[in-house]
Amino acid sequence: MKILLIELKDTSTGWTLEKTEFDSLTLLVGASGVGKTRILRVIQWLVDVAEGKWFNGLSWRLEFYSNKGNHYIWSGEFEGVMTVRKPTLVSEKIYEGDKLLVDRNPQKTWFDGKDIAVKLAADKSGPQNEFCVCYGKPVKTG
């Protein structure tokens, strides 16, 4: 996977990573306190979201090339709640090139042009949900 762009906002802390573009990045260099570790944390947060974890008030946009060279854009947002309950995933979209593959909100899940009956856990995103996309088709896993 080659990351092209990351944007992230954490409304629970007020912290924002403005649109950050990567070219042929292999090394983060900078003075102390300029954000090198924060960029690595943001990448880890997005890995965590993809694995089904949730973050209060988090919104993101990640643009990347897969190992096969396919261009993807993944964006989403968790609600900001000031309680101990898990926040609901407000929206999640995945594009392959210009084609919308997944469009998800608390009311519906749309995959590759069709509403799908699989109900995803409202507080999770990514492959730890009750389905995963395997070879272009939603497959129930839970």
| Placement of tokens 């983060």 in the chain | 28
pLDDT of residue 91: 93
Helix H or strand E encompassing 74: strand 71-78
Cα separation of the two ends of the chain: 27
Token reading at 105: 């909100």
Q: What's the predicted TM-score (pTM) here?
A: 0.76
pLDDT of residue 96: 94
pLDDT of residue 8: 94
Cα(142)–Cα(140) distance, rounded to whole angstroms?
6
Low-confidence ranges of the chain (pLDDT < 50): 127-142
Angle formed at CA 62 by CA 96 and CA 81, multiple of 5 degrees: 120
Neighbour tally for 8: CB within 10 Å = 23
